[in-house]
Amino acid sequence: MREAANNEAAKRLCSSTPTLVGVEPAIDVIPGMTEQMILTSGAPLEWDRYSGGQRMAIIGGAIYEGLARDEADAEAKLASGEITIGSTHDHACVGSVAGIYTASMPVLVVENREFGNTAFCNLYEGKSPRRLNYGVYDQEVHDGLKYLEEVVGPVLGEAIKRSGGIDLKTMMRRAVNMGDELHSRNTAGTTLLTKELAPHFVAAAGEPGADSARLLETLAFLAENDYFFLRVGMAAGKATADAARDIENSSVVSAMTLSCCEFSVRVSGLGDRWFRGPLPDVEAQLFESYSEDDIEWMGGESMIMETIGLGGFAQAAAPALQAYQGGSPEAMAQTNESMYEITVAEHSDFRIPYFGYRGTPVGIEIFKVIETGILPAIDAGLAGRGGGQIGAGILRAPRDCFEQAAAAFTERYGQ
Amino acid sequence: MREAANNEAAKRLCSSTPTLVGVEPAIDVIPGMTEQMILTSGAPLEWDRYSGGQRMAIIGGAIYEGLARDEADAEAKLASGEITIGSTHDHACVGSVAGIYTASMPVLVVENREFGNTAFCNLYEGKSPRRLNYGVYDQEVHDGLKYLEEVVGPVLGEAIKRSGGIDLKTMMRRAVNMGDELHSRNTAGTTLLTKELAPHFVAAAGEPGADSARLLETLAFLAENDYFFLRVGMAAGKATADAARDIENSSVVSAMTLSCCEFSVRVSGLGDRWFRGPLPDVEAQLFESYSEDDIEWMGGESMIMETIGLGGFAQAAAPALQAYQGGSPEAMAQTNESMYEITVAEHSDFRIPYFGYRGTPVGIEIFKVIETGILPAIDAGLAGRGGGQIGAGILRAPRDCFEQAAAAFTERYGQ
């Protein structure tokens, strides 16, 4: 029964058809979003448990959105509940690092056409290590966010609308054939997206009264930011993983999340309950002048990519990553190989050329994790104390989460 | 002395900076081109030695260019010398399969800015198996060539001019990191080129009186033809290899070529002399319904890519090729690995992620080929009897050419 349910989960993960249909202000499209709400990464916490960069990012979001005058005002309103905090995963969103969403921010809208659900992700802030999602809020960060809101978001949104919807499943499949694992490497994805959008930019530029400068700026933003596609992939990942939620008897992981103080997982057959554990272990490759002591956890949900069989589960497709996050091509292939031991299927579409086009391992199964002792490998960017990105590496989802989930599963469904 | 000369050859191959600067009619830019001349692949032959598809392609070129009314007229004028035949390599060109150039055809212009020389390649005809370069000439082929001449060539040329020149060295380096070996796989190259050109298309579309339809058609042509970049790479390859010609004492191969009846090589220290051998052996992966008996040799010079350390010399960068030309990823890595035994250097820029970013083997050395018995591996498309592409595979340059070259080298320079 569990096996059939897990096969169904894998089937839904593989047969999902995420399609990019637009870019809209968060308030207009995200279910349950309000003007006074700030979404952030991680299983929900009381306000006083948010600390460090994630706390700063929430406060920054409140100021950016005009919900608070300054830090003290934001602190007071967050403590009183006048400004509310929502958990991204409960609003069909996933957050990058701190994962801050406020009402006016533009979000990518991705429909899973096969299953009818929709998911969202906000836009990449650009490659400066100083970004709201890495716990920094200052004039430069503010201006960058405004630029996304006023230029990049609307221009992209119009091009996507003109396209009639972009088939992300096909694009992601191609990107994996071109050296992306679509978590820490997104170069091919971003390039393919740009190529796909190019004719719609040209068509827009050719219309009377068109503002070519805005179009060119947005294209330049895409050209400069090889990481841009990660957010598109994350929205596709969330739209895909949500289709595999709430399958009775399934012990497949439907979500993983990180806040400043916890790593948590959800299991398909166990509804919306988070199984919370400690912060993850990491093999880090840090930018020059940083040490592991400088790493600070600020949250993160880009591991939605691993949840759908990419990232650490497709490392062998992306040997070019070795320079960025460390490890030899052989070690990456080995890590990737071991993920087959904790998953229930091989992906029908995402395939690894170097493994003779074997499908990526997909559908993390909690009992396999416990029995093998192999923890899910997650490719990730790393934040530093005081804010900013300081490196990248491979995280391991903590065993605790899986043990708690297994206990709950056994309690609910029996042995 | 030979070693120093060969190091110089490798240095020139690695330090070349091919830059795409325009698309122009052949007659306007190719040195020595005349209105009555048809260029074709291979070391020069008497007219009566051209047979099969290559002969048909030359005749087709004559009719296309208006030099002959029909096949009989073309035969007569080619026999009498009224229409002359030139060898692509002697005109800074390289040909794909039959490699037909006539005066009015648009050609990509690539400058090697480091060394000041220029090379050319005509445009990809599109993915129909029926193409002039595969020995077919009919109304459909005619219309396709006219389309290149009237739409794709001029539109691309304008976009390239607007760009101020496109740095192909960087683009090719990136493509190798994205799964291309740039001979039989050019998906990343074409995608990167499209991304690079996109802003110039948008800028063109935004100008008063712009014809967006032509721009969109050309973008669509690029989007449909993942192979498009091969011609760009070939022009870059020729511009690069020509910089390593005529180095006194160098036993490095400076060109390889195939006609309908011979495979030939040139050696840097031995000037423009071709060392001619038999047709190559091939491990073929044919399209459904074809057998090896259907293969017909019609010429080909895309092996300029192997001459500069790509194609078969970078197979391990392109495991996705296994479906197209056959072989497991392991076999491809092994073939690639063995090319280090017959080359003089590792490329400074083209590096193979899967080999821990080892530079590709570059600079084929004739004595190493003879001593090891390892023949250069060449990724290639295969033509069929009666015209058209029928598959792909790995060719081996014949040993004879290298033995003759070695004898001539020893005669010229002593032991």
Strand ranges (E), B295-410: 295-296, 343-352, 358-364, 377-384, 389-396
Rounded distance, CA A56 to CA B356, Å? 39
Express each pLDDT in A182-205 by its tens digit: 999 999 999 999 999 999 999 999
**What is the reported pLDDT for A199?**
97
Mean pLDDT of A32-50: 98
Parallel, antiparallel, or unpaired for β B37-40 and B84-87?
Answer: parallel
- Strands of the sheet containing B253-258, edge to edge, are B253-258, B263-267, B275-277
Rounded distance, CA B390 to CA B387, Å? 9
**What is the reported pLDDT for B252?**
98
**What is the reported pLDDT for B370?**
98
Q: Does pLDDT of A328 surpass 80? A: yes
**What is the reported pLDDT for A313?**
98
Rounded distance, CA B397 to CA B306, Å? 11
**What is the reported pLDDT for B75?**
98
Q: Do A203 and B195 touch (CB under 8 A)?
A: no
End-to-end CA distance of chain A: 11
Q: Residue B356 in 3-state DSSP?
A: coil
The one-character DSSP state at B150 is I
Q: Do B328 and A195 touch (CB under 8 A)?
A: no
Q: Do A212 and B194 touch (CB under 8 A)?
A: no
Architecture of domain A8-234: Alpha-Beta Complex (3.90)
Instruction: Provide the shortest C-alpha distance from residue A317 to chain B (in Å).
Output: 9
- Domain spans, chain B: 2-234, 248-413
Mutate to test the interface with B, among A156, A170, A177, A351 (most CBs of B within 10 A): A177
Lowest mean pLDDT among A57-66, A227-236, A281-290: A281-290
ipTM of the complex model = 0.92
Task: For residue B199, list chain A residues with Cβ-Cβ distance below 8 A.
Answer: 216, 219-220, 223
Express each pLDDT in B194-208 by its tens digit: 999 999 999 999 998
More confident residue, B388 or A313: A313
pLDDT bracket for residue B238 (50, 70, 90): very high
pLDDT bracket for residue B193 (50, 70, 90): very high
Partner A contacted by B224 (CB < 8 A)? no
Q: Do A202 and B202 touch (CB under 8 A)?
A: yes
What top-level class would CATH report for the domain B248-413?
alpha beta
Task: For residue A155, list chain B residues with Cβ-Cβ distance below 8 A.
Answer: none
Q: Does pLDDT of B326 surpass 80? A: no
Q: Do A202 and B192 touch (CB under 8 A)?
A: no
CATH tag for A246-413 (out of 3.30.70.1380, 3.90.1700.10, 3.10.310.10, 3.40.50.1980): 3.90.1700.10
Q: Which tokens is B104 given?
A: 């009015």
**What is the reported pLDDT for A39?**
98
- Helix H, strand E, coil C: the string for A148-210 is HHHHHHHHHHHHHHHHCCEEHHHHHHHHHHCCCCCCCCCHHHHHHHHHHHHHHHHHHHCCCCC
Mean pLDDT of A293-310: 95
Mean pLDDT of chain A: 95
**What is the reported pLDDT for B66?**
98
Partner A contacted by B355 (CB < 8 A)? yes
Mean pLDDT of chain B: 95
Rounded distance, CA A291 to CA B173, Å? 31
Give the bridge partners for A267, in sequence order. Answer: A253
Q: What is the DSSP string of B79-96?
A: HHTSSEEEEGGGGTB--S
Chain centre distance of CA B153? 18
CB B228, CB B188: distance < 8 Å: no
Lowest mean pLDDT among A131-135, A243-247, B70-74, B367-371: A131-135
Q: Which tokens is A191 given?
A: 């390039």
DSSP H/E element including B153: helix B153-163
Task: For residue B191, list chain A residues with Cβ-Cβ distance below 8 A.
Answer: 178, 188, 191-192, 195
Partner A contacted by B328 (CB < 8 A)? yes
**What is the reported pLDDT for B244?**
98
- Strands of the sheet containing B166-167, edge to edge, are B117-122, B106-112, B18-25, B166-167
Give the bridge partners for B380, in sequence order. Answer: B393
Write down the CATH superfamily of domain B2-234: Enterococcus faecalis V583 domain (3.90.1710.10)
Lowest mean pLDDT among A187-191, A389-393, B185-189, B383-387: B383-387
Within a 13 Å sphere around the CA of A374, how many CA atoms are in the beta-carbon half? 17
Express each pLDDT in B90-143 by its tens digit: 999 999 999 999 999 999 999 999 999 999 999 999 888 789 998 999 999 999
**What is the reported pLDDT for A323?**
79
Partner B contacted by A199 (CB < 8 A)? yes
Q: Do B179 and A353 touch (CB under 8 A)?
A: yes
Rounded distance, CA A241 to CA A13, Å? 6
Mutate to test the interface with A, among B177, B207, B358 (most CBs of A within 10 A): B177
Task: For residue A191, list chain B residues with Cβ-Cβ distance below 8 A.
Answer: 178, 188, 191-192, 195
Give the bridge partners for A361, in sequence order. Answer: A346
Lowest mean pLDDT among A110-119, A216-225, A389-398: A389-398
Partner B contacted by A334 (CB < 8 A)? no
Which residues, 6+ apart, have CB-to-CB distance to B162 below 8 Å? B200, B203, B204
Instruction: Provide the shortest C-alpha distance from residue B259 to chain A (in Å).
Output: 33
Express each pLDDT in B334-373 by its tens digit: 999 999 999 999 999 999 999 999 999 999 999 999 999 9
**Token pair 């069989």: residue:** A309
**What is the reported pLDDT for B77?**
98
Long-range contacts from B270-274, C-beta under 8 angstroms, 24+ separation:
B270/B405, B270/B408, B270/B409, B270/B412, B271/B246, B272/B90, B273/B408, B274/B43
Q: What percent of chain A has pLDDT over 70?
A: 100
Express each pLDDT in A44-71 by its tens digit: 999 999 999 999 999 999 999 999 999 9
Q: Do A179 and B205 touch (CB under 8 A)?
A: no
Q: Does pLDDT of A385 surpass 80? A: yes
Q: Do B356 and A205 touch (CB under 8 A)?
A: no
Q: Which tokens is B34 given?
A: 């005349």
CB < 8 Å from B in window 93-152 of A: none
Q: Does pLDDT of A159 surpass 80? A: yes
Same topology, domains A8-234 and A246-413? Answer is no
**What is the reported pLDDT for A117?**
98
Q: Do A329 and B178 touch (CB under 8 A)?
A: no
Could you give the residue ranges of the DSSP H alpha helices within B16-138?
Answer: 26-29, 52-64, 71-80
Chain centre distance of CA A140? 24
**What is the reported pLDDT for A322?**
87
CB A171, CB A228: distance < 8 Å: no
Give the bridge partners for A362, in sequence order. Answer: A345
**What is the reported pLDDT for B286?**
85
Reference B268, options B51, B69, B82, B7; nearest CA is B7
pLDDT bracket for residue A387 (50, 70, 90): confident
Q: Does pLDDT of B56 surpass 90? A: yes
Q: Which tokens is A340 given?
A: 């087959």
Rounded distance, CA B415 to CA B413, Å? 7
Rounded distance, CA A300 to CA B240, Å? 46
Instruction: Provide the shortest C-alpha distance from residue B81 to chain A (in Å).
Output: 47
**What is the reported pLDDT for A46?**
97
Long-range contacts from B31-36, C-beta under 8 angstroms, 24+ separation:
B31/B91, B31/B92, B32/B86, B32/B90, B32/B91, B33/B86, B33/B91, B33/B101, B33/B103, B34/B84, B34/B103, B35/B67, B35/B103, B36/B67, B36/B82, B36/B83, B36/B84
Q: Does pLDDT of B32 surpass 90? A: yes
